[in-house]
Each structure stands twice: as structure tokens, then as C-alpha cells.
A and B are shown apart, each in its own frame.
Chain A
Amino acid sequence: AQKVTQAQTEISVVEKEDVTLDCVYETRDTTYYLFWYKQPPSGELVFLIRRNSFDEQNEISGRYSWNFQKSTSSFNFTITASQVVDSAVYFCALSEAGSGGYNKLIFGAGTRLAVHP
């Protein structure tokens, strides 16, 4: 069955610390997509990254980086030199054809990140 697990419910760091948010997924499909979204207090889910199952190359975008490892079914997200503006809830999500189509996102429970000055 498809599932996304974000074991860290809440993380609290001091500004400029590096922080890694963990995401482990389960799927029987060989083709799937993984996403990270950020949800600030305003409520809107802000897209951060999409990865397909055939692309295990790690990605860096400014202070953000993502580590995708199919061998451990993980798609972890690291924020380098965290800032107060990074405070939000972060969601990892999976979409796969086996869920009735790629049009359905399966979300993890989210990790609430608090960055203190």
C-alpha cells in the first residue's frame, strides 16, 4: 500500500543551524513522483520540488537540498543555514499510477519546523 511517513513531528532549531527533514515512502509502483511542499501560517501549500522515480540525482537550490535514495525509499530535505522565514510545516508527498492515477497526492503527516532567532 502507498504511504508516506514523516517521523519528525516538530523540530526546533536556532537560526543558522542546518536541519534535515526526513521522508520515507512506500509504493509498489516502479514509476512515481515525490514532492515537497511548505505550508506557512497563511495555509497555502507552496511547491518546493518534484522528483520522478527514475531520477535519483540529488538537487540543490540555494539553501535547500534534497537527497533521494530509492534503496532506502527516502527523500530527505535539508535546509542549510536556516532562517526564521523557514518556519513552517513541511509536507512530503507521493503520487503514483497505482492510486488511480497520478492525479492523487498522498501526503505525510508533516513536520513543523520552528526556527528561532
Chain B
Amino acid sequence: KAGVTQTPRYLIKTRGQQVTLSCSPISGHRSVSWYQQTPGQGLQFLFEYFSETQRNKGNFPGRFSGRQFSNSRSEMNVSTLELGDSALYLCASSLEGQGEVAFFGQGTRLTVV
């Protein structure tokens, strides 16, 4: 069974640009969550999607958005990039998002210059 796949693995963007990251969950998993990892703030929850609906959202500005497709694949978008958005973005999938184990992808490392 394939694991969680995130693309691309690495990205370099310029301040002010926007970026889209993609996540393919484990087959059969319907919940997809996104996390931002930085040296200063650690691992922080961005949002979670289930059946194409955002169920939960962390404390991030509106520049961070996401969506989920009918096949459970998810994308997150960051608009008007700032230097502080440089981070490892991790996606996790679980069956229903009700306390089951969340399996993580290898992440997308975004660098904003």
C-alpha cells in the first residue's frame, strides 16, 4: 500500500508569489491534515479536510488555504508569500480523522527568498 505522497519535495519561491502544494493520501483515507514545521514554532496545525470540507482550521492568516478533491487528494495554497513562510509543510492522512493514527508524507520544503 502506497504511503502519503507529497509533491513537490522542494520549492524555492520569491516573496509575493503564490505556491500550491499537493498531497495524495493513503488509499481509503478520507481525512487529510496539513502542518507547518519551522525551527521557531515547531509543528503547527494548519487545517484538516474530510469529504471535501474543511472541518478544522489552525491559527494561520487567510493567505493559507486548502481544498480537497472527491478522490481525497488535497492541495494547499499560500498566496503573497512572506519570508516567514519558509518551512517544511507536512501532510497527514487518516481514515476518518477521529483519533486514528495519522500517517505523514515526507513533506514539501518551501524556501521563500
Contacts and interface: CB of A to CB of B under 8 A. Distances in A.
Main secondary structure of the interface of B (DSSP, over half): strand
B98 to A, nearest CB: 5
Interface in B74-113: 88, 90, 92, 94, 97-107, 109
Contacts, number: 69
Interface in B1-34: 31, 33
B61 interface: no
A71 interface: no
Given A45-B90, A47-B101, A102-B98, A107 B42 contact: yes
A35 B33 contact: no
B56 interface: yes
Contacts of A100: 55-57
Interface residues of A, number: 25
B46 to A, nearest CB: 10
Contacts of A50: 99-101
A17 B106 CA distance: 29
27 contacts: A44-B104, A44-B105, A44-B106, A45-B90, A45-B104, A47-B102, A50-B99, A91-B43, A100-B56, A101-B48, A101-B56, A101-B98, A102-B97, A102-B98, A102-B99, A103-B31, A103-B33, A103-B55, A103-B98, A104-B58, A105-B43, A105-B102, A106-B45, A107-B42, A107-B44, A110-B42, A110-B43
Interface of A: 33, 35, 37, 42-47, 50, 52, 91, 95, 99-110
Interface of B: 31, 33, 35, 42-45, 48, 50, 55-58, 88, 90, 92, 94, 97-107, 109
